[in-house]
Amino acid sequence: MYDYVYYSKDLDFPLPENITHLREKTSKAIISNSREIECEIYAPEINFYINNSKDTVLNKINALEKLYEIRSIKFDNAKYNEYQKEIGNKVLIIGSKNQAEQINTENFEVYYALPEWIEDIKGTIGNLEFKINKNGENINLTVDQALWFNAPEIAYKQRGIIDPIDIGIEKTHEILNKRAGIYNYRNYITYDINLCQYNGRVLKETCGNCVDVCPTNAILKIDEEKKLLFSHIDCDGCGGCVSVCPSGALDFSAVPRETFYEIAKFFKGHIPLIIPENLIEVLDIELKEHVLPLAVEGAKFLDETHFLTLFQESASQIVFYTDRLSKGEKEAIRLINEISIRKYKKEAVLLAQNINELKKALEKAQIVPEASYTTNTHNLKKRENFAIRLSHIVENDDLGVIDLSENKYIHYGKIEIEEDKCTLCMGCVSVCNAGALTAHPEDNSLKFDAGVCTDCGYCEIACPEKCINVIYDSLELNPEYFGQKTMAKDEPFHCIMCGKPFAPKKSIEKIASILLPMFTDETKRKSIYCCEECKAKLVFNDYLERKLNAK
């Protein structure tokens, strides 16, 4: 088996040494430009680039090697898990008699219903539950798959329902038979519960974006427990949930963020053309010099950090061609373009949603040398990466304030704290999983970094002193906005027994004001002003003394 194979009967340019040229379909490969070669990864962008690019032969050779390497990196770093489910042969056909007769149902146990009989649907492929009202007779029917002619929107929320009108009878037969038996699927997203801004937030719901945009009910909220429930078998892999996740708790398995950031570096000196994989083979368009395609699976996963990273690493405007722009991508492009226009007087992302728009975008796209910036963002959170990159654009300039109040999913802002009221209890720090609020025991301070704040407002709700005020949807493009700022500070309180500093003075005073009226025992009253070690000694000595006195 070869790593990289370029299959072609004819070859009119030399290949890099690490790419094997095959004229016959005799060998296997990890990555190939052709479906005719048995391979792990089929890369249609390779032929698309070779057939359409106006690059010189030398540049084509260099670009070709990059395309194979990009595919290799994606393959090596994908975070898929493969799953299987056994699917039975029960099928429900919803439509007229004439429509139903078009379907070859051999080898299937078939049920029929008219569209108006369907009252409710639950479940997923292999276990679809239909609530049917047939002329007043209530029927609960469980099937493995369903065919629904002219299916309404509700049908697309359940995996396992096919619309023959939408995909054609031939394709319907193909899918119906392919899904029966052992059904293979994978996880298209990964989830970091520690970054999730819905999980465990009982005081106020501060997020739920992923549930809002999911078209297939693959993500559900369990409100009683404040947890998210994921169903990988229902996920269609669009990635829309990733684009609207404010903290980066959700990531796209095919191209995780770390992988995308690594891939972006290959586009230095190129004009990136982002294309969904399903559109490449049907696209025939001239690519001017320096344009290099970036094929993406699940074209809805891109967010503001993806776009900004690719813009800076390539030092070029990005052409993004898609037929299904996600809600998150729309807001992200608008944000990145506003930033770029204020700094460089040109858009960073040129969006094209049809061929005419694509031709114009490719003609317009140009290298932007002044935008060039590369940095090591390994193991950084999504917001940390974005803040570092955005602060580089801002530098020492004041580019004004971007109003994000019209956005539904992308929010940036900051907080104000009434320092005289703050007791430095650090309750706000404990609920800030974005890392915007941090405690610093070395100087008894509370610090805040607006650049990584998701503007969720949970710190404001959780603050017992009600001294936090959140300023929503205001992204300030000035140097003062980025980096940690001291919001509150206090002198340390020293243990009355050992003299060691162990807490902010305000915190101890606050605790004392609450507990002193409740304690009549002198030992308990004294323990309020002791560190943990001395408090334990104090209580233990008091216990021994009481025991001895009792004798």
* pLDDT of 167 over the 90 cut: no
Share of the chain above pLDDT 90, in %: 81
Say if CB 190 and CB 248 are below 8 A apart: no
Q: What is the pLDDT of residues 40-50, one digit of tens each?
A: 999 999 999 99
Between CA 49 and CA 99 the distance in angstroms is 42
Query: In angstroms, rounded to a whole number, what is the distance separating the alpha carbons of residues 228 and 221?
Result: 5
From first CA to last CA, the distance across the chain in angstroms is: 86
Sequence-distant (6+) residues with CB within 8 A of 310 are: 260, 264, 267, 272, 274, 294, 318
499-512 pLDDT, tens digit per residue, is 988 888 888 888 89
| Pairing assessment for the beta strands 90-94 and 109-113 based on DSSP bridges | parallel
Q: Is the pLDDT at 156 greater than 80, yes or no?
A: no
Asked if the model's pLDDT at residue 205 lies above 90, the reply is yes
Same fold, 187-252 and 414-489: yes
Categorize the per-residue pLDDT at 547 as very low, low, confident or very high, splitting at 50, 70 and 90.
confident
Give the up-direction half-sphere exposure of residue 13: CA atoms within 13 A in the CB hemisphere: 16
**Which of 42-56, 217-231, 491-505 bottoms out in mean pLDDT, i.e. has the lowest?**
491-505
For the ranges 92-101, 153-162, 370-379, the lowest mean pLDDT is seen at 153-162
Strand partners, 93: 112, 147
On the question of pLDDT at 480 being above 90, the answer is yes
Cα 361 from Cα 347, distance rounded (Å): 11
CB within 8 A of 107, min separation 6: which ones? 89, 177, 180
pLDDT at 253 over 80: yes
What is the pLDDT averaged over residues 124-153?
Answer: 94
CA distance 383 to 412: 10
Q: Give the pair of three-digit tokens for residue 157.
A: 């929320």
Helix (H, G, I), strand (E, B) or coil at 33: coil
d(CA 427, CA 436): 13
If one compares 538 and 551, the residue with the highest pLDDT of the two is 538
What distance in Å separates the CA atoms of residue 392 and residue 353, rounded to the nearest whole number?
31
The pLDDT value recorded for residue 128 is 95
Residue 394 banded pLDDT, cuts 50, 70, 90:
very high
In angstroms, rounded to a whole number, what is the distance separating the alpha carbons of residues 203 and 458?
8
**CATH class of the domain whose range is 414-489:** alpha beta
Region 365-372: mean pLDDT is 98
Q: Which residues, in sequence order, are bridge partners of residue 229?
A: 220
Domain boundaries, the chain: 84-185, 187-252, 414-489, 494-550
The answer on pLDDT for 551 being more than 70 is no
Q: Distances from the Cα of 162 to the Cαs of 76, 94, 144, 352, in angstroms?
A: 33, 10, 12, 29
* Tokens found for residue 374: 């590369």
Inform me whether the pLDDT recorded for 157 exceeds 80: no
Average pLDDT over residues 33-59: 96
Was domain 187-252 assigned CATH 1.10.10.60? no
Of 60, 89, 211, 257, give the one whose Cα is nearest residue 160. Answer: 89
Nearest CA-CA partner of 88 in 190, 6, 182, 200: 182
